[in-house]
Chains A and B, each alone.
Chain A
């Protein structure tokens, strides 16, 4: 077991960068695999061993690995979120949550129409936006050792976990655009009557709170081990 020289390390980094990968999760695993293997051989054997590694870790295989990881992370996040929702919603809790939503809706009805919409749509969106910023900040911190290591060689390094989680966090915002902003673009301002809009905002608010809390719990579970 020996330490690789700076020149050898640079050669390894360049070989990995040539694979055109972007995922920090895959890059760190391949880099560790290469170095762990090469450290077991003398410097005279370095070139041959690196060539052998390159024959095994061909670019198409690495890209497939990255693609499969993206898919499995997406499904893992969804299933964790669903597990969180299922484990939370036992019947008593479900009834309790519905009761709270009904009471809050009645209280919100005391406000003006604009204030109601702002409160029901606005608060969860502000929470989600803040949460997305926090997750991205934490990811930046956790990614820094990988970035420091490969930044000079790899153009773009991102965490698949972070990308998928961010997409999931901002998902409700797309609904907001779809149901409220897109009709406005076409001048359909009266498409949804006020009475239905009120009910819609309560349902939407409930779903957003459910989504935000479950995604937060999923993040808590995943952040223990992933780059988020």
Chain B
């Protein structure tokens, strides 16, 4: 599944979840991690990733750290305290949505699986 519209709606949750697991990451690393985890099925485009990162930073959910790496400057993103709280809420929101979607798509199936 590589429908960009479906991914866009969950992009913030994906970023927050990855940062919860990895402490700090830079933009390109996030795109590669998603590609690796989904075996290339989901590719986050730069067009969607960086605006989402900047928005989360402006909302105070992410903090940044600038570091010199191999003659260039790299910007690392990590979760703030508010960001850590937001992961839980976003995850349960997404889980609820997927369960409801499942109810619509397969009415006979009992909900209760995890994403």
A residues lining the B interface (CB < 8 Å): 3, 25, 28-29, 31-33, 35-37, 56-57, 61, 65, 68-69, 72-73, 75-76, 79, 142, 145-146, 149, 224-227
Q: What 7 A-B pairs come out closest when comparing CB atoms?
A: A72-B58, A36-B28, A76-B58, A28-B73, A225-B64, A33-B28, A32-B74
Task: List, in ascending order, chain A residues with CB within 8 A of B41's CB.
Answer: none
Chain B interface (Cβ < 8 Å from any Cβ of A): 26-29, 45-47, 50-51, 54-55, 57-58, 60, 63-66, 68-75
Q: Is the CB of A56 within 8 A of B45?
A: yes
How many A-B pairs have beta carbons closer than 8 Å: the answer is 66
Whether A32 lies near B72 (C-beta < 8 A) is yes
| Distance between B19 CB and nearest chain A CB, rounded to angstroms | 15
Which residue of B45, B54, B72, B74 contacts A69 across the interface (Cβ within 8 Å)? B54
- The contact of B50 among A29, A146, A224, A226, by CB within 8 Å, is A29
Query: Shortest distance in angstroms between A139's beta carbon and chain B's nearest beta carbon?
Result: 12
In the complex, which residue of chain A has the Cβ closest to the Cβ of B76?
A225
In the complex, which residues of chain B have a beta carbon less than 8 angstroms from the beta carbon of A72?
Answer: 54-55, 57-58
Bound CA–CA A125/B29 (angstroms): 45
Q: Return B99 CB to nearest CB of chain A, in Å.
A: 33
A-B contact pairs, 13 of them (CB 8 A): A29-B75, A31-B72, A32-B27, A32-B72, A32-B74, A56-B46, A56-B47, A57-B46, A68-B54, A75-B58, A76-B58, A225-B64, A227-B66
